[in-house]
């Protein structure tokens, strides 16, 4: 199933697919925030480091299959398969957008 994602979210998932920490960080605003696994990463450099660490620990693919709105955030649910405990799993990605960039991302089960 193909879903239509807003440009900023599409760019995030495309950058994530390439495995480039720099491209993922560039999808965010300068002051972007990522909340994942109980940790908060603030700013592009911290987001880049989060992706470097994730890339060293696991390989994975994320295929978005649902988009909706919850509490003024854009929710995307993706099927994630990889070399991490609990794979495969459907994760929810909650985005706050600022123009053509991601201002905030929270990843939950």
Say how far apart CA 91 and CA 80 lie, in whole Å. Answer: 7
Locate the domains of the chain by residue range: 7-108
pLDDT digit string (tens) for the chain, length 109 residues: 579 999 999 999 999 999 899 999 999 999 999 999 999 999 999 999 999 998 888 999 999 999 999 899 999 999 999 999 999 999 999 999 999 999 999 999 9
Flag whether the pTM goes above 0.85: yes
Angle in degrees, CA 11, 101, 10, rounded to 5: 20
pLDDT score of 2: 73
CATH number of 7-108: 3.10.450.50
Phi, psi of 2 (to 5 degrees): -105, 130
Which residue in this structure is represented by tokens 């706050």? 96
Alpha carbon distances (Å) from 102 to 20, 29, 81, 84, 97: 16, 6, 23, 25, 5
State the DSSP H helix or E strand holding residue 98, giving kind and residue range, or none if neither.
strand 89-98
């Amino acid at each position: 199933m193909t879903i239509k994602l807003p440009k900023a979210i599409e760019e995030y998932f495309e950058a994530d697919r390439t495995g480039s920490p720099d491209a993922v960080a560039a999808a965010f605003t300068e002051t972007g925030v990522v909340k994942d696994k109980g940790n908060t990463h603030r700013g592009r450099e911290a987001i880049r480091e989060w992706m470097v660490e994730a890339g060293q620990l696991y390989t994975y693919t994320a295929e978005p299959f649902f988009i909706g709105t919850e509490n003024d955030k854009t929710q995307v649910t993706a099927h994630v398969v990889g070399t991490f405990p609990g794979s495969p799993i459907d994760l929810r990605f909650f985005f706050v957008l600022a123009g053509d960039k991601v201002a905030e991302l929270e990843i939950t089960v």
